[in-house]
Structure 1
Amino acid sequence: MATKKKSANKAASSPAVDKDTAKALAKVALRPSANAAAVVTEYTKMFGDHDINDLVDELVDSIEKVNAGDMKRCEGMLMGQAQALQSIFVNLSRRAINQEYLKNYEAFMRMALKAQSQCRQTLETLSNIKNPPVVYAKQANISNGPQQINNGVPAQTPHAEEIKNQSNELLEVIDGERLDSGTAQETIGSNTALATMG
Structure 2
Amino acid sequence: MSNSVKNKSSADKNLTVTKIEGKTPEQQIAELSLSPIVLNAYTAANFSKFLFGSVNANEAVGVIRDQTKKVESGDLSEVENTLTAQAIALDAMFNELARRAALNMGEHMNATEMYMRLAFKAQSQCRTTLETLAEIKYPKAATFVRQQNVAYQQQVNNDGMSIPSNTRTPAHAHGKKEIPANELLNEADHEKVDSRGTDETIRVNSPVETVGAVNRGKNTGRKGSK
For the aligned pair, the TM-score class normalised by the smaller chain equals 0.5 to 0.7
Letter in 2 for 1:131: Y
Give 2:41's aligned residue. 37
Alignment of 1:70-109 (within 5 A): 70-99=75-104, 100-109=107-116
Give 1:25's aligned residue. 29
Give 1:68's aligned residue. 73
Q: CA deviation at 1:138?
A: 3.4
Paired residue secondary structure (1:78): helix
What TM-score do the two structures reach when normalised by structure 1?
Answer: 0.63
Which of 59, 68, 74 lines up with 1:54 in the alignment?
59
Which of 102, 114, 119 lines up with 2:121 in the alignment?
114
CA distance 1:104–1:174, change in 2 (3 Å): farther
Letter in 2 for 1:39: T
Q: CA deviation at 1:57?
A: 0.8
How far apart are the structure 1 equivalents of 2:87 and 2:184? 63
Give 1:128's aligned residue. 135
Asked which structure has the greater RCO (Cα within 8 Å, sep 6+), the reply is 1
The number of aligned residues is 143
Give the structure with the higher percent helix: 1
Q: State the 4+ residue runs in structure 1 displaced beyond 3 angstroms.
A: 149-152, 160-164, 173-176
| Structure 2: runs of 5+ lacking an equivalent | 1-22, 151-177, 200-226
Over the matched positions of the two proteins, sequence identity in percent amounts to 34
| Structure 1: runs of 5+ lacking an equivalent | 1-18, 140-148, 177-198
How far apart are the structure 2 equivalents of 1:32 and 1:116? 29
Letter in 2 for 1:71: L
Give the structure with the higher percent strand: 2
CA distance 1:159–1:62, change in 2 (3 Å): same
